[in-house]
Amino acid sequence: MADLPHVSNWVHGSHTSPTSKRVTILNPATEAPIATIDSTPQEAVNEIVLSSLDAFHSGKWSKADSSERFSVLSKAAILLRSRIPEFVELETLQTGRPIREMRAQLARIPEWLEYFASLARVHEGRVTPFKGPVVNTLTRSPVGVVAQITPWNHPLLIATKKIAAALAAGNVVIVKPSELAPLSVLRLGALFKEAGLPDGTLQIICGYGRETGKYLCENAHLAKIDLTGGLATYKAIAPNASTNMIPITAELGGKAPVCFFPGVEIEDAVKAALFAGFIASGQTCVTGSRLLVHDDIYDAFVELLVKRVTALRVGDPTDDRTQIGAVINKAAVERCSSFVERAVQDGGTILCGGKPTSVDGKGFFFLPTVIAVAESSHLACNEVFGPVIAVIRCSNEQEIIRVANMTSFALGASVWTNDFTQAHRVAEQIEAGIVWINGHHLNDPSSPWGGFKESGVGKENGIEAYESYTKVKSTVINYGVKPVWFDDEVGNARYG
């Protein structure tokens, strides 16, 4: 353990001295330790927040011209794109996700920096309609010091999405990455410094969520909290944030239905189900974890699905041939097993998979699993966050829509049909923040991302995300209304 590399917090433009308490990062595919990080205590967290507040008030970034923000974020995109291979290796190492997937995902991440750089450059205020000889201008300014709590499943992607939007708007950012996979996020600090970001504008602090994350989110000097995580984390953060009048953007998970209708080629439908359900070993918030299949194609679909899922290659994530990598830790394996056991108790039928596995006797792996269940079963209604998906037989279109909407989650959904009219009719009725037609997992920096119900509040991506990191000021300019005094006619007065 003494030989393990240690990566300290990134604060004020450099890595700080290591804390006395540390967190060990494991490679989930081998169970071997790969590095240690800081476990940041409350006193240090509070000091970092206060110094970040000073950095914000200094104006070196918050009052920088939009062209300067554009230049810095654009250069960061160039630097990141040139270093994608090293980030791919690091992400694969710390998450256990197949390297072929990481290459595809990380290749697109610079687009978020480019998009928000451009948005910072071109986003304009506006003039609102106002009765009489009065002009009302709306201008936006950064909110202040923002805390971003990011997850382990897409460490670099989700952190970059949040950081790019917040920095483009002129804020000072404190990121607390997951203690399970923080290494790629920590590497962003030096990259942004090289791009020209002023020291103290991006701080990256590490530790357990229940400690460091809690200390950060309880600080009353924050202007905003942006969380990607679970509902329990949101409920732990929200009361204190409410007391301190701190707004929260929260992306909290999902139970995405994948809806298949007659007319879709069975081969295409099965490929869609594999992509929707087993990317990242099912560890995404929009995993297609409920396959809602019309009765007319159900039998043929399930027969081919089982054949293809059974043939998926589980293995070493660094091997280009691997299709299913590791889940993040032992607890994830146990969670998958628990869901399978409960599904069987509820009357479900395991069609394939259903148990843990390993590679060369090591690692946190779970066989890709498909279970036929009833619409109201535990598996059909709750998020697994692993390669365990439910398949549900539905008799008609209205039943598919009803089942799609019967969970407490409403983040993503997809509709697969060759009937253009049906596609729009069904998509319109599905309760979800993102509905794909004949696609799944499609994402773009310009496309708002966020759900309804228990899937969260607010949006990542797009103008919506940028504007959520700003505060709006109305400046009302009177160029023709004479002052009204108490002895003038009441009818001429204007009341606010």
Cα separation, 320 vs 198, in Å, equals 39
Between strands 452-453 and 409-410, the pairing is antiparallel
Cα separation, 204 vs 11, in Å, equals 6
Which strands make up the sheet holding 10-11, listed edge to edge?
14-15, 10-11, 202-204, 172-176, 145-149, 224-228, 248-251, 456-457
The residue whose two tokens read 């460490």 is 155
Angle 316-98-38 (CA atoms, 0-180°, nearest 5)? 90
Give catalytic status of residue 251 as yes or no. Answer: yes
Cβ-contact 473, 139 below 8 angstroms: yes
Q: How far is CA 336 from CA 230, 305, 340, 348, in A?
A: 16, 20, 6, 15
**Token pair in block for residue 407:** 């969970």
Sequence-separated (6 or more) residues with CB below 8 Å from residue 220:
244, 246
Q: What are phi and psi of 419, to 5 degrees?
A: -95, 105
110-139 residues labelled b (16+ CB within 10 A) or e (exposed):
bbbbbbbbbbbbebeeeeeeeeeeeeeeee
- Catalytic site residue from 101, 179, 218, 251: 251
Q: Is 96 helix (H, G, I), strand (E, B) or coil?
A: coil
Beta-bridge mates of residue 10: 15, 204
Cβ-contact 274, 260 below 8 angstroms: no
> Would you name the residues annotated as active-site residues?
251
